[in-house]
Structure 1
Amino acid sequence: MAWHRWAATALGLAAVVAAQALWPEPPVPEQLAFQSISVDRYLRQLRRQAIQFVEDRPKQGFQFVEQHRNGAFEIHCRGVPVLWLERRSHHVLMQASLDAKQRAPAVLEFQATLQWQLEPLGYLEQVLMGVPEPVLMDRMLLMLAGGVPDGARCG
């Protein structure tokens, strides 16, 4: 029985070492949460900019999708969500999909434009508010899954 535990531990350590070899730099914590803003500013300014982003790219496969909870909205690339914003009671949550760089690079530039307009919460504040963050396992699975097919890309 002790042999099985030792083998499982060795296998786990080998997986960690292999992951570090494939991904030598630890990921920088992604800025996901921002200070809360007024509903009016959120709906008028950020939503309008997202709609304009999609309308400026009519043949690139982007769609604006409005959710009916907390004024949330998403930008999709050929039906797959690549950027979403949600106004919560104490913060604005903004996330890009893990594969946005390959699937829809233009959306990352747009995300940076939106982030520039908002006041970010510190990493510790995000953790204390329970803001979800992609875990290393999610990032590793994305790497192992390979690239995004050409027909699934926008832009």
Structure 2
Amino acid sequence: MARYRWTATALCLVAVVAAQTHWLAPPVPSTIGFRNIPDDRFQQLRRQAMQFVEARPRRGFQLVERHQNAGFQIHCRGVPVLWLERRAQFLLLQATLDAEERARDVLQLRAIFQWQLQPLGHLEQVLAGVPEPVLKDRVLRVLAGEVPDGVRCGT
């Protein structure tokens, strides 16, 4: 009986440590692939992201440019939570799995982007190599619990 208690206690400790180290690591993205768009259209999306950040000056959001016309990221207190990346044949729109808790406002911007873009079909996404979060990432996300208040952005 005592052996089972020690085993259960050890498993709980492992889960707690895994959850705490999970928040220290950058969150795993949830990715969607879209058909490529012309430069002027991409710049319009970039301007929308800039307006999103500028409209929330004290909420911890920051726009981080990647290479010219290659993409941009929205950070929440230094942690990327949403990014749009331009690849040769398609666009990747990525949001972290914890975006709903860490930076809920960014989900509205993601929805606006999705509404304006044409998604790749499932087979096209697989052939393009669009990564999907694996079960382990989702389990770690559940074990980690809530995002601490000090690392949240927005309301």
Give the alignment's TM-score, normalised by structure 2.
0.77
State the 1:31 CA deviation: 6.2
Cα pair 1:31 1:120 within 8 Å, conserved: no
Q: Give 2:102's aligned amino acid.
A: R
**Alignment-derived partner of residue 74 in structure 1:** 73
CA deviation vs aligned residue, 1:45-85 (integer Å, no higher than 9, x gap): 01000000000000111000011275211000000000011
Cα pair 2:84 2:93 within 8 Å, conserved: yes
**Alignment-derived partner of residue 4 in structure 1:** none
Question: Using the alignment, how far apart are the partners of 2:69 and 2:140 within structure 1?
Answer: 30
Matched, 1:117 2:116: yes
Cα pair 1:83 1:97 within 8 Å, conserved: yes
C-alpha root-mean-square deviation of aligned residues, in Å? 1.3
The 5 Å alignment of 1:82-101 reads 82-101=81-100
Cα pair 2:31 2:95 within 8 Å, conserved: no
Question: Using the alignment, how far apart are the partners of 1:69 and 1:140 within structure 2?
Answer: 36
With a CA cutoff of 8 Å and minimum separation of 6, indicate the structure with the bigger relative contact order: 2
Matched, 1:63 2:44: no
The SS at the match of 1:50 is: helix
Cα pair 2:59 2:153 within 8 Å, conserved: yes
**Alignment-derived partner of residue 34 in structure 2:** 34
Q: Give 1:51's aligned amino acid.
A: M
Gaps of 5+ in 1: 1-29
**Alignment-derived partner of residue 103 in structure 1:** 102
Cα pair 1:70 1:87 within 8 Å, conserved: yes
State the 1:145 CA deviation: 1.4
Question: Using the alignment, how far apart are the partners of 1:60 and 1:150 within structure 2?
Answer: 12
Q: Give 1:101's aligned amino acid.
A: E
Question: Which stretches of structure 1, 4 residues or more, deviate above 4 A after TM superposition?
Answer: none
Question: Using the alignment, how far apart are the partners of 1:46 and 1:119 within structure 2?
Answer: 14
- How many residue pairs match? The answer is 125
Matched, 1:141 2:140: yes
The SS at the match of 1:32 is: strand
The SS at the match of 2:88 is: coil
Question: Using the alignment, how far apart are the partners of 2:144 and 2:68 within structure 1?
Answer: 31
Cα pair 1:31 1:123 within 8 Å, conserved: no
